[in-house]
Amino acid sequence: MDETTGNEQQVVTLGERLVQLRKQANLSQDEIASRLHIRKAMIADIEEDKEINIPTVFIRGYIKAYAKAVNLPDDELKGYLGEVPTHVTAPMRNFSNKEQRKRSSKRLLVISSIILIIILGVTGFFIWQEYRREGSDITRYAPSAILQMESVES
């Protein structure tokens, strides 16, 4: 965990130690990532000791698998695992259906408007047809009515 050089004490982080062991084994980040079946970016984050925004159980599992792949001794790993944060606060999520209700109410408004337009169109068409038929009936019957009136008068 700690390496001393002379009178100065130099602390090696978990990420630095994993990089040292990976390079000693002549492995690349890509090779480690493919062996562990995780993204290369996750390997880079572990090596850079970045705070990873996933549940702690996964972080610890990835670190253990990485340590095993580069042959980090178990006793040394236990010391490093104590430094891994045990609680990552997840961002609060809003589980209300507000957005879904908005979308469904918009959809309902559009559908009901379309249905109303169709009903008005069909009604208008039938009224127009009826008006047209009544108009043609008047013109059709008008000459015969005139003839009948003439015959009655004569």
pLDDT tens for the chain, 154 residues: list them: 444 444 445 778 888 888 999 999 898 989 989 988 999 988 888 888 887 778 888 888 888 898 898 988 888 888 877 777 665 565 666 666 677 677 778 889 999 999 999 999 999 999 998 888 876 655 555 556 555 666 666 5
Q: Residue 2: phi, psi to the nearest 5?
A: -110, 140
Closest by Cα among 25, 154, 1, 12 to 76: 1
| Answer CATH for 2-81 from 3.30.70.141, 3.40.50.9100, 1.10.3720.10, 1.10.260.40 | 1.10.260.40
Closest by Cα among 70, 60, 59 to 35: 70
The per-residue b/e assignment along 51-66, b for 16 or more CB within 10 angstroms, e otherwise, is ebeeeeeebeebbeeb
Q: Is 153 helix (H, G, I), strand (E, B) or coil?
A: helix
Residue 14's CB is within 10 A of a number of other CB atoms, namely 22
Q: Are 45 and 58 in contact (CB under 8 A)?
A: no
Residue 79: per-residue pLDDT: 82
Q: Which two tokens stand for residue 149?
A: 């009136």
Residue 4: per-residue pLDDT: 46
Longest CA pairwise span in the chain (Å): 143
Residue 101: per-residue pLDDT: 73
Residue 133: per-residue pLDDT: 81
Cα–Cα distance for residue pair 108/128, rounded to 1 Å = 30
Cα–Cα distance for residue pair 61/70, rounded to 1 Å = 14
List the domain boundaries for the chain. 2-81, 98-154
Residue 88's CB is within 10 A of a number of other CB atoms, namely 13
